[in-house]
Amino acid sequence: MYQHFYDMPLWKESMDLSIDIFDITSTLPKSEDYGLTSQIRRSANSVSANLAEGFGRISTKEKVHFYHIS
């Protein structure tokens, strides 16, 4: 079992995804910075955040819930 959420391979992959998404969205027009670009970046960041949230939960049901959301 993992000691910390950041030891999880899936969490590491989700962080890599966030970096890739940030790089891709940086090419979008500046007029989209507070619209589409922001929404795409926040959705990519939510994957790792939900994995971390689920890791901190005690019950299996709650863990599964957050892992499913991510």
Between CA 70 and CA 60 the distance in angstroms is 15
| Mean pLDDT (whole number) for 32-49 | 93
How many domains is the chain partitioned into structurally? 1
pLDDT bracket for residue 54 (50, 70, 90) = very high
Which residues contact residue 69 at a Cβ distance below 8 angstroms, ignoring those fewer than 6 apart?
50, 54
Contact assessment for residue 65 and residue 53, using Cβ atoms and an 8 Å cutoff: no
- What does the pLDDT read at residue 34? 85
Domain that holds residue 51: 5-69
Overall pTM > 0.85: yes
